[in-house]
Structure 1
Amino acid sequence: MPGQDADDFKPKRRARKPHPERVLKVCPLCATVNVSSASECFRCGWDGDFDTDAGRVQTRVHRIFTPDPRFREALKNGAKAVVSWILKAL
């Protein structure tokens, strides 16, 4: 940079992203993951105390992003199997 020596240059630090366990909480009634700032569960409306245990929050987040093995099998069998699997799940 103009007007700076190479020795004075300090790279900008990236802002650390918070761990999901710090910004999420789990509804004890329906086990839905909610943001920490929410006053009530967006799914069931629970407005009591939420589960903020880091291990349990991490487990619920993992379950969201890990597809059910039956769903993966249905995907292998094509769109008709996926629709059938979804209808059975309802």
Structure 2
Amino acid sequence: GLVSRVVPDDELLSSALDLADQINGWSTQGTALTKRTMWAGLEMGSLRAAIEMESHTQLFVRLTTENFEEAVRARREGRPPEFRD
């Protein structure tokens, strides 16, 4: 796993559930590709190769989903995005 924050023991479950709710609102495809990219990055021979792979991943999502457009609309309208992928 990846550590994003540390909380006291008595807050662990509620913090984990809050994070799960947050992740649940993210793009399914984007989350899966991010996870794959992070794991693949461990095998990359250079930072440049990792950045290039990330660029291709972002382009793939941009061209195959409406997530980018929805994120921009939601930001403009002051609401959370509603990803449908």
TM-score interval for Structure 1 and Structure 2 normalised by the shorter chain: under 0.3
Structure showing greater radius of gyration is 1
- Which of the two has greater helix per residue? 2
**TM-score, structure 2 length as denominator?**
0.27
- Which of the two has greater strand per residue? 1
- Structure of greater relative contact order (alpha carbons < 8 Å, 6+ residues apart): 2
